[in-house]
Amino acid sequence: DVKVTQSSRYLVKRTGEKVFLECVQDMDHENMFWYRQDPGLGLRLIYFSYDVKMKEKGDIPEGYSVSREKKERFSLILESASTNQTSMYLCATVRGTGNTIYFGEGSWLTVV
């Protein structure tokens, strides 16, 4: 059974803190994504990675960075959390164009 694991399901952080969201997949997929989900806005792509150490900006990269040191792990970093980054964050993987995207269960982040 395929698995995308987001280790932190619920986090509460203070404004200005550095936040790490971790995602691990066991499907040997090259491509990994971080999305942000907000009511009425659907899923918006923050960053994606198509190989180890490779990354590309999505639609809303401001205030975020990512790290992909190993194929199975893709981390999202909020360098200095702000209240407008309170959201649900979804990690996803896909093998290639047109294939099924597999999602993690999401990380609910609240910044106070």
Partner 1 sequence: AQSVTQPDIHITVSEGASLELRCNYSYGATPYLFWYVQSPGQGLQLLLKYFSGDTLVQGIKGFEAEFKRSQSSFNLRKPSVHWSDAAEYFCAVGARTGGFKTIFGAGTRLFVKA
Residues of the shown chain interacting with partner 1 in the complex, contacts defined by CB under 8 A: 4, 31, 35, 40-43, 45, 48, 50, 58, 90, 92, 94, 96-101, 103-106
DSSP letter at 58 equals: -
Strand partners, 87: 109
> Tokens 């401001």 sit at which residue?
62
- 60-98: buried (b, 16+ CB within 10 Å) or exposed (e) per residue? eeeebebbbeeebebbbebeebeeebebebbbbbbeeee
The minimum distance between CB 72 and partner 1, in angstroms, equals 17
Rank residues 50 and 77 by Cβ distance to partner 1 and give the closer one.
50
Burial of 16: CB neighbours in 10 Å, binned 0-12, 13-18, 19+: exposed
Q: Do 63 and 82 form a contact (C-beta atoms < 8 A)?
A: yes
Rank residues 63 and 106 by Cβ distance to partner 1 and give the closer one.
106
Rank residues 11 and 43 by Cβ distance to partner 1 and give the closer one.
43
Rank residues 56 and 79 by Cβ distance to partner 1 and give the closer one.
56
The minimum distance between CB 51 and partner 1, in angstroms, equals 12
The minimum distance between CB 27 and partner 1, in angstroms, equals 14
The minimum distance between CB 20 and partner 1, in angstroms, equals 19
